[in-house]
Amino acid sequence: MQKKSANNKRNPQNNPAQRGVPKQAPTPANPTQRRPNPAAPQMRSRKPAPKKPSAQNQRFAPQKAKAPQRPPVQNPNPVRKPNPQPPLNKRNQAAVTQAMKNHREVKTRRKYHGGNYILYYILAMIIVVVVFIILANVMLFDSRTIEVEGNSRYTAEEIISASGLKVGDNLLHINKSSAENAVRSGLVYIDSAKVKKSYPSKIIISVEEAEKWFNVVQNGTSVAVSRKLRIIEQGLTDSLVTVRGYEAESLVPGEDLKSTVAAKTSLPSEILEAAEKAGLSDITEIDITDRFSIKVTVEGRVILELGNSSELEGKLIIAQKMIEEKINPEESVTLILTNTTQVAVSYNHPEQSSEESSSGSLPEENSSSETPESTSSAE
């Protein structure tokens, strides 16, 4: 009993007589110590955690009533644990490892399988292009009409027949150059031909018919030649300029005119084009036997000695002005135009005296202060 009273003194909570009695604040030992102001905020004091009663005092603490325990509910579908497998030997363990590795590789390949659709798209496009090409060669782009332009001497049927083209030919298989050459070689009066493809089903043949421009006389044979140097027909045409000394390779109608001397091949065309620009007409003959001493006859009575082929247009302009202003329509003279700064005039008939003719000086437009007057002499 003494022990019990001693414990109650040490721990007043264990004393049932002192449980409901409030604790009184201890009086300060120093009477001069200031009391706390109830209006001022006070610091919250940390209460010590309640101590658990010791094992000796637990006998006197009131005990709570325990709730009745219910029997455990049994699961109607209990999960069965798998039976323990016997340990694998080395051969079986290696087989399992290989199977798991193969399974991982298959999953990896399936993961990137979607990227191969690009190859399928490319393959599909290639198939579509191949099918389109086959259809284009078999069914599409077949010619339904053939038109001819620029013809007057020949009919459209004659030109189409000469070209070798037919309705129903595929535009992709037509050889334009061979058709154009066939038209030129088959029809003499065609200077040039051009074949056009008008998709999806039309062919257009444009032709330029030849016109006689000058005659070429060689070894007693004369032929008429077009502006594009195509031999049109044999025979001498009186209204055309006659070219002598050409030295042609062949004079067969339908062929292109070529000279054995390369410099003479286009020389007649150059002279005639320069005469057109100079306004000089009524040229009757061109002699290019010596290409460094070209002679042009105008109206059958005025001979122009041009020398070489340089400055053809300027020389012919001077000759045209001299014929209009200085030479009478009845005179037959020779104008020496080898030098454009000096012009010499000589009469072709001895009965014409030098007194009857005036000096053949250059026209005022083409003469300069340094240019002396040209003298005239009788042959």
Give me the torsion for CA of 66, 70, 71, 77, rounded to 10°: -140
- Predicted confidence band of residue 6 (pLDDT cuts 50, 70, 90): very low
For the chain, where are the alpha helices, taking DSSP H only? 2-10, 90-111, 117-138, 156-163, 176-186, 267-278, 312-325
**Contact in structure between 260 and 246 (CB atoms under 8 Å):** no
CB < 8 Å & 24+ apart, contacts of 317-321: 317/278, 317/279, 317/280, 317/366, 318/343, 318/362, 318/363, 318/366, 319/278, 319/280, 320/278, 320/279, 320/280, 321/363, 321/365, 321/366
Q: Could you report the per-residue pLDDT of 178-221, keeping only the tens digit for each?
A: 999 999 989 999 999 999 998 888 999 999 999 999 999 999 99
The whole-number pLDDT of residue 348 equals 73
- Predicted confidence band of residue 115 (pLDDT cuts 50, 70, 90): low
- Cis peptide leading into 72, omega within 30 of 0? no
Mean pLDDT score, 57-70: 60
The whole-number pLDDT of residue 100 equals 79
**Fold adopted by 145-209:** Ubiquitin-like (UB roll) (3.10.20)
Q: Could you report the per-residue pLDDT of 121-138, keeping only the tens digit for each?
A: 888 899 988 888 777 666
Q: Could you report the per-residue pLDDT of 231-256, keeping only the tens digit for each?
A: 999 998 888 999 999 999 999 998 99
The whole-angstrom separation of Cα 259 and Cα 268 is: 11
CATH architecture of 212-378: 3-Layer(aba) Sandwich (3.40)
Domain boundaries, the chain: 145-209, 212-378
Q: What pTM does this model have?
A: 0.57
**For residue 311, is pLDDT > 60?**
yes
Q: Could you report the per-residue pLDDT of 261-297, keeping only the tens digit for each?
A: 999 999 999 999 999 999 998 999 999 999 999 999 9
Q: Could you report the per-residue pLDDT of 344-373, keeping only the tens digit for each?
A: 888 876 555 443 433 344 444 443 333 333
- Predicted confidence band of residue 66 (pLDDT cuts 50, 70, 90): low
